[in-house]
């Protein structure tokens, strides 16, 4: 007997879902299997989660609320296990966290697992961190605390030690067909002609030789990550089954990893293909039928003009939210150069996207900072793209004269001179160097940078997300270089174990930890202003100074201006043609928007007066 909640939702999507599936696969047997998986997934859903589904259907934009504050972390680095994390929920509640992204925690091989993005079993929590029951208990506790859990779902590939891969190695053709396996280099060489390499320096080529099968296997990212063949409907059906299992364990946000790569087609770049959008659209409809409390977050690290397609349309939506990586890297670029022009341009591009596009804003995450600036915009501004990129990554590695940063390069390519950057927010902003040199004045300035960077991240349109440890000024973990299982990946520099000792200092007046923790908390409180309502219009504003960025939030009840000084000197912002009278948010003093002083690496918030 069909459930009265599930069936109407399924009927609403049935025609489109079946049409898309048949267009892609032309396999009615596989379609029936998919629909059976969906119905079984709903039947296995708890009453508590079904109640959440109904609640979210009444509040579909819940993730856009202005009180949403996110945090991302590794379970093991923060608390060891899922049960250990449950014990530390008061720390998250203290900060007002409403959205928690735990880095990959499904069963993974060791030592090589790409930070958990090589998955051995999509249906099982890694034993080092707990059990599926522990995960369900955690999500229950999080819901009671008003926190939604986000987990990664790695759609593009499995670990080479996944059961499917092991059975493929054993010669089972049905499992070899779950991947891309070839007897010789004929087809792989054809793919290589148009398929870019992701890690040319550390993982060159897109195919790896498998001795057990005597075949070449497509491995876009690393040799131990085998790309799944979504041209095979069995792959899609089984991945949906695993996705619904996580949803039924209480996961409310599924971060689908490497979305643009999941469909492969000979003669193309194998990125951003039309079939990718068909798959994501089907996943969206499946979730809306089975577990509408669950939303999709896409990891789409592509040029801004390619992002809007991953949201779909208001009538046929795909992802609910995407990462705002382009603005993130331009924030750091502006900090290194003291020039906000590229940042302003990038924000203008995002503000021009359709209203339904919603982004997760952040400063740092588990990954590196890739310097994918808009080269056409750079040239228009008289900036040499290669020289600029080299300057920025050398600056944040501390290799440029006058740099205050202590970071490290990632994936340096001597042929293209491309490189990425690793490091924690505090270390990149100068806190680590100032402490190392015992320079109190430099430390004050570094903390100002940390405050300002968090200020602008939280002022943007979208959902702000902290990187765990940044709220207490956690520094780089250089000791990773002495661990042979970690040393080859410089991203481990900022994947550092959370320090309870340092966290305890957040309440001790005058410590670095207290000053940064309070600054982040104060910044989050600013979001309580009416101008942060989800429907507020956000725009940049010219300040007449390359060092100062102005963001203006036009709400129904209030207009609010954020002024952010990326330079090392006090600057005066001139906000020509901005209408109305304004006062400083914190002092209540009237402000002349034609002559507004913003201190070095400082922030000012101006609110409209009635």
C-alpha of 251 from chain center: 16
Query: What are 292's two structure tokens?
Result: 């509408």
Whether residue 405 contacts residue 397, with contact meaning beta carbons closer than 8 Å, is answered with: yes
DSSP-based three-state secondary structure for 210? strand
Whether residue 480 contacts residue 493, with contact meaning beta carbons closer than 8 Å, is answered with: yes
Whether residue 149 contacts residue 185, with contact meaning beta carbons closer than 8 Å, is answered with: no
Helices and strands counted in the chain (H then E): 21, 26
User: Residue 502 belongs to what H/E stretch?
Assistant: helix 500-504
For 523-583, the DSSP string reads: HHHHTTSGGGSTT-EEEEE--S-TTEEEEEEE-SS-EEEEEEE-SSS-EEE--TT--S-EE
| Partners of residue 323 on adjacent β-strands | 360
∠ CA 8-11-13 to the nearest 5 degrees? 115
Residue 535 annotated as catalytic: no
| C-alpha span between 408 and 402 (Å, rounded) | 16
For 222-272, the DSSP string reads: -TTEEEB-TTSHHHHHHHHHHHHHHHHTT--EEEETTGGGS---TTS-SSS
For 339-380, the DSSP string reads: --HHHHHHHHHHHTS-TT--EEEES--SS-EE----HHHHHH
| C-alpha span between 496 and 475 (Å, rounded) | 8
Query: What are 494's two structure tokens?
Result: 């900022």
| C-alpha span between 176 and 348 (Å, rounded) | 46
How many CA atoms within 13 Å lie on the side-chain side of 598? Answer: 31
| C-alpha span between 471 and 517 (Å, rounded) | 5
C-alpha of 576 from chain center: 35
Query: What are 177's two structure tokens?
Result: 């067909």
Whether residue 552 contacts residue 607, with contact meaning beta carbons closer than 8 Å, is answered with: no
Residue 299 annotated as catalytic: yes
Query: What are 437's two structure tokens?
Result: 């040199």
- Cβ atoms within 10 Å, residue 474: 25
Whether residue 473 contacts residue 516, with contact meaning beta carbons closer than 8 Å, is answered with: yes
- Cβ atoms within 10 Å, residue 19: 10
**Choice among 120, 152, 238, 257 that is catalytic:** 257
- First CA to last CA across the chain, in angstroms? 59
Tell me the longest C-alpha to C-alpha distance in the chain.
Answer: 76
Handedness of CA 446, 449, 451, 457 (dihedral sign): negative
Whether residue 411 contacts residue 419, with contact meaning beta carbons closer than 8 Å, is answered with: yes
**Choice among 299, 339, 448, 489 that is catalytic:** 299
Q: Which residues are catalytic?
A: 257, 299
């Amino acid at each position: 007997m069909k459930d009265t909640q599930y069936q109407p939702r399924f009927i609403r999507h049935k025609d489109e879902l079946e049409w898309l599936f048949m267009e892609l696969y032309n396999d009615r047997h596989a379609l029936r299997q998919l629909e059976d998986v969906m119905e079984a997934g709903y039947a296995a859903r708890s009453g508590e989660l079904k109640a959440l589904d109904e609640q979210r259907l009444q509040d579909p934009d819940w993730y856009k609320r202005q009180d949403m504050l996110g945090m991302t972390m590794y379970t093991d680095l923060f608390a060891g296990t899922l049960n250990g994390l449950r014990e530390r929920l008061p720390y998250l509640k203290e900060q007002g966290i409403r959205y928690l992204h735990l880095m990959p925690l499904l069963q993974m091989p060791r030592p090589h697992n790409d930070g958990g993005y090589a998955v051995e079993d999509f249906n099982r929590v890694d034993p080092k961190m707990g059990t599926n029951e522990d995960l369900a208990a955690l999500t229950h506790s999080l819901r009671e605390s008003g926190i939604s859990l986000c987990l990664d779902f790695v759609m593009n590939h499995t670990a080479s030690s996944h059961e499917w891969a092991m059975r493929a190695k054993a010669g089972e053709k049905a499992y070899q067909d779950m991947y891309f396996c070839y007897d010789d280099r004929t087809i792989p060489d054809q793919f290589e002609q148009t398929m870019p390499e992701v890690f040319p320096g550390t993982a060159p080529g897109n195919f790896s030789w498998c001795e057990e099968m005597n075949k070449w296997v497509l491995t876009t990212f690393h040799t131990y990550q085998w790309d799944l063949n979504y041209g095979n409907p069995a792959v899609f059906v089984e991945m949906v089954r695993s996705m619904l299992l996580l949803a039924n364990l209480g996961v409310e946000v599924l971060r689908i990893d490497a979305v643009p790569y999941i469909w492969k087609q000979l003669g193309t770049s194998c990125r951003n293909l039309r079939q990718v959008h068909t798959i994501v659209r089907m996943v969206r409809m499946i979730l809306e039928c089975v577990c509408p409390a669950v939303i999709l977050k896409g990891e789409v690290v592509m040029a801004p003009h390619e992002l809007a397609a991953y949201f779909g349309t208001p009538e046929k939506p795909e992802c609910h939210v995407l990462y705002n990586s382009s603005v993130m890297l331009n924030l750091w670029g502006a900090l290194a150069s003291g020039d906000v022009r590229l940042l302003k341009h990038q924000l203008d591009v995002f503000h021009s996207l359709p209203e339904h596009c919603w982004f997760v804003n952040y400063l740092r995450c588990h990954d590196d900072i890739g310097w994918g600036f808009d080269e056409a915009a750079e040239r228009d501004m008289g900036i040499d793209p290669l020289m600029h990129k080299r300057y920025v990554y050398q600056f944040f590695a501390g290799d440029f004269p006058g740099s205050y940063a202590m970071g490290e390069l990632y994936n340096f390519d001597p042929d293209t001179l491309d490189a990425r950057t690793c490091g924690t927010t505090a270390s990149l902003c100068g806190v680590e160097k100032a402490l190392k040199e015992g320079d109190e004045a430099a430390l004050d300035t570094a903390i100002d940078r940390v405050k300002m960077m968090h200020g602008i991240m939280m002022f943007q349109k979208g959902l702000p997300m902290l990187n765990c440890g940044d709220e207490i000024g956690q520094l780089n973990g250089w000791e990773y270089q002495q661990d042979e299982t970690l040393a080859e990946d410089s991203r481990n520099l900022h994947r550092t174990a959370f320090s309870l000792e340092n966290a305890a200092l957040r309440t001790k007046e005058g410590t670095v930890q207290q000053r940064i923790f309070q600054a982040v908390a104060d910044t989050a409180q600013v979001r309580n202003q009416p101008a942060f309502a989800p429907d507020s219009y956000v725009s940049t504003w010219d300040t007449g100074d390359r060092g100062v960025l102005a963001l203006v939030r036009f709400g129904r009840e209030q207009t609010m201006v954020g002024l952010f000084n990326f330079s090392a000197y006090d600057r005066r912002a001139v906000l020509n043609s901005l209408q109305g009278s304004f006062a400083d948010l914190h002092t209540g003093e009237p402000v002349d928007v034609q002559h507004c002083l913003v201190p070095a690496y400082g922030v000012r918030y101006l609110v409209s007066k009635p």
